Structure 1
Amino acid sequence: MKLNSAQLGKHLQGKLAAVYAVSGDDPLLCQEAADTIRSSARSQGFSERQVFHCDASFDWSLLYEAGASLSLFAEQRLIELRIPGGKPGDKGSSALIDYLARPAEDTLLLISLPKLDGSAQKTKWAKALIDNADAVFVQIWPVETAQLPHWISQRLAQTGLSASQDAVELIADRVEGNLLAAAQEIEKIKLLADGTPIDADYVLACVADSARFDVFGLIEACLNGDAVHALRMLDGLRGEGVEPLFLCAMLARELRLLSGLALQISQGTTPDRAFAAARPPVWDKRKPPLHKALQRHSAGRFNHFLLELQQVDAQVKGQAAGDPWSSLARLCLQLAGQRLLLEA
């Protein structure tokens, strides 16, 4: 049975299933869903707990042993399997299928997974999990940017706080989609508010800038054509002391990928086939921003950007005149689709 996070709470008020799987990419939402299941299990007498981290070297016989052994300390127990890669492998698949066919008595199995895409959900072990009458598959969907202010308002209300719309939107802007950072800032406001009206000025006074200035965020902003955001990310990376040579290396890798994709597409290959042929293949989540960049620039243009990166490299090493950060800003603007005065 499939449930979303909103349906989970009501479901847990009744009899618990033998197996729960929580799947999603957002660490906060997945953690909270798993915590809710653990809390319900404790309240219903599952007082013993075993946790297994299932990496490539995990011995899946431990699952058989845990399911077959008698509990030493409690009548009911919770077994947790954490599969960070989302792929249990052949031995893990067989072990999970066997367990799901005969769940251990007086035992609740909680499986933590990253997001499983459509093809992953069609594998034998995933189908055995999703289609099992004794199992619940909890799909955690991300909070989209447009939904973030509403999510923050609800989160504030859960803590007994209310805020003006300007304050809510300011929090959303400063955390840039990082739900964990948003939750931490709300907790901070709760501690500091003490009856103070929560407006934009109050948020400015007490909320740290939790925006994630990471290199992948910079690249994604450039690919999406969001020049303003890209410059903000670049400035944040500079403020955090990131070396420009590291940025050059990461941008060069992306540009070489884009150049190869653009060349294949210009020769008649469909974008999906070009993405699949890339090494490593392009993830589904990355396809939309790459599509946007490929619609703006040709293979020759991406190769020109690579030459500009060589100039930045020379500037960092003192072998060419100019400021490397200014050159990086110019390159990011061009990659985002902005025409500069010298290009007009």
Structure 2
Amino acid sequence: MKLTPAQLAKHLQGPLAPLYVVSGDDPLLCQEACDAIRAACRAREFSERQVFHVDANFDWNLLREAGASLSLFADKRLLELRIPAGKPGDDGTRALLDYLARPAEDTVLLLSLPRLDGKTQKTKWAKALIDGDNCQFVQIWPVDAAQLPQWIRQRLAQAGLSASMEAIDLLVARIEGNLLAAVQEIEKLKLLVEGNQLDAATVQASVADSARFDLFGLLDAALAGDAAHALRMLEGLRGEGVEAPVILWGLARELRLLATLAQQHAQGQPLERLIAQAKPPIFGKRQALVGRAVQRHPASRWNQLLRDAQLIDAQIKGQAPGNVWNALAQLTLQIAGTRLNLPTE
């Protein structure tokens, strides 16, 4: 059964389903939906949690064994299955269908997926998740450009702030469609604003405050192929205490976009049209930056860099060896089109 994020909040006030699927490409909205499900589980004393990250070598027997075994430490448990590639493969399809047919008792399975395209939604496993009686499928849609001002206004209201239209317009221009950036800006603005009325001058001051080393500046430099500037930006962000997962999130977001566009362009679709119709939208100067970057590598190379990003995620979590910051520098330089052998340890 499909749920919108708004419907999810009401649903979680009642009995929990055996399986939840959160599917979408916006990291903030997907994270918030998953957090709401986790909070509902905690409120009902689901005190054990296991997380599985699915890659090409994932052993689906781990899910089968988890579903068949009883918890050793708690009466109720939450299992999380994260499939960043969005395709479980043949063995994964069988495991998911088996689990859906016989969900584990006193267990909630939370499945995280990227947005499923029309072809994928017609597969047997996806149809079972979307239409299954034991499953709640939460589809996360991006906030488009026309909806963004109202979305920001609502978020400001949640933070106890109201804003002039000029201030809203400045925020829209500042974040360029990135909702996580919007939330970060609003948190910062709460510290700067006097009272609860936000004006354009306060927004301008906030933008100037973060102008020296900026994650989005790093991403733009990498897209532009300015490797030296991108590397300086990375070191500056590290020096200012920005954590590696935040930087990896930004780089991985760009890589997913570039890999998708490169694949579609390789199939004969005009790049200009792909960029103009991209979801979420690509705004302003970024259209030219993205266009140049897409043509820097073939689709196979962008997909390889996405796999490199997954390895860095494992390094951050302590699940793989290697120097995280050197790996982030390597990834940044390769997006920019430069190869440089840095130490891996």
Is the contact made by 1:67 and 1:104 (CA closer than 8 Å) also made in structure 2? yes
Q: What is the deviation of 1:42?
A: 0.8
Q: What is the deviation of 1:191?
A: 2.5
Q: What is the deviation of 1:89?
A: 0.7
Q: Name stretches of at least 5 consecutive residues in structure 2 with no aligned partner.
A: 232-257, 279-291, 296-345
Measure the CA separation in 2 of the matches of 1:148 and 1:291: 17
Q: Could you say which residue in structure 1 is the equivalent of 2:112?
A: 112
Measure the CA separation in 2 of the matches of 1:150 and 1:68: 46
Q: What is the deviation of 1:240?
A: 7.7
Q: Could you say which residue in structure 2 is the equivalent of 1:132?
A: 132
Q: Could you say which residue in structure 2 is the equivalent of 1:266?
A: none
Q: Could you say which residue in structure 2 is the equivalent of 1:95?
A: 95
Q: How does 1:168-247 map to 2 (within 5 A)?
A: 168-195=168-195, 197-207=197-207, 208=210, 212-213=216-217, 214=219, 241=229
Amino acid in the other structure paired with 2:31:
Q
Q: What is the deviation of 1:286?
A: 8.0
Q: How does 1:288-307 map to 2 (within 5 A)?
A: 288-289=274-275
Measure the CA separation in 2 of the matches of 1:47 and 1:130: 27
Q: What is the deviation of 1:128?
A: 1.2
**SS of 1:142 mapped into structure 2:** coil
**SS of 2:47 mapped into structure 1:** strand
Does structure 1 residue 68 correspond to structure 2 residue 72?
Answer: no
Measure the CA separation in 2 of the matches of 1:183 and 1:97: 37
Deviations along 1:158-202, one digit per CA (max 9) or x if unpaired, are 111111111111011011011111100001111332526310001
Measure the CA separation in 2 of the matches of 1:96 and 1:283: 34
Measure the CA separation in 1 of the matches of 2:203 and 2:228: 23
Check 1:2–1:95 CA distance in 2 against 1; reply closer, same or farther (3 A cut).
same
Is the contact made by 1:178 and 1:211 (CA closer than 8 Å) also made in structure 2? no
Amino acid in the other structure paired with 1:289:
I
Check 1:285–1:239 CA distance in 2 against 1; reply closer, same or farther (3 A cut).
closer
Is the contact made by 1:152 and 1:182 (CA closer than 8 Å) also made in structure 2? yes
Q: Could you say which residue in structure 1 is the equivalent of 2:150?
A: 150
Is the contact made by 2:19 and 2:108 (CA closer than 8 Å) also made in structure 1? yes
Amino acid in the other structure paired with 1:36:
A
Q: Name stretches of at least 5 consecutive residues in structure 1 with no aligned partner.
A: 219-233, 244-253, 259-274, 293-305, 310-344
Does structure 1 residue 48 correspond to structure 2 residue 26?
Answer: no
Q: How does 1:258-273 map to 2 (within 5 A)?
A: none
Q: What is the deviation of 1:285?
A: 10
Q: What is the deviation of 1:147?
A: 1.1
Is the contact made by 2:160 and 2:196 (CA closer than 8 Å) also made in structure 1? no
Q: Could you say which residue in structure 2 is the equivalent of 1:81?
A: 81
Is the contact made by 1:20 and 1:109 (CA closer than 8 Å) also made in structure 2? yes
The number of residue pairs the alignment matches comes to 247
Amino acid in the other structure paired with 2:111:
I
Between the aligned residues of both structures, percent identity stands at: 60
Amino acid in the other structure paired with 1:241:
H
Taking structure 2 as the reference length, the TM-score comes to 0.65
Amino acid in the other structure paired with 2:3:
L
Deviations along 1:43-62, one digit per CA (max 9) or x if unpaired, are 11211100000111110000
Does structure 1 residue 8 correspond to structure 2 residue 12?
Answer: no
Measure the CA separation in 2 of the matches of 1:54 and 1:27: 18
Is the contact made by 2:23 and 2:113 (CA closer than 8 Å) also made in structure 1? yes
Measure the CA separation in 2 of the matches of 1:43 and 1:23: 23
**SS of 1:241 mapped into structure 2:** helix
Q: Could you say which residue in structure 2 is the equivalent of 1:269?
A: none
Check 1:291–1:3 CA distance in 2 against 1; reply closer, same or farther (3 A cut).
closer
Q: Could you say which residue in structure 1 is the equivalent of 2:282?
A: none
Measure the CA separation in 1 of the matches of 2:6 and 2:271: 24
Check 1:239–1:89 CA distance in 2 against 1; reply closer, same or farther (3 A cut).
closer
Measure the CA separation in 1 of the matches of 2:87 and 2:57: 12
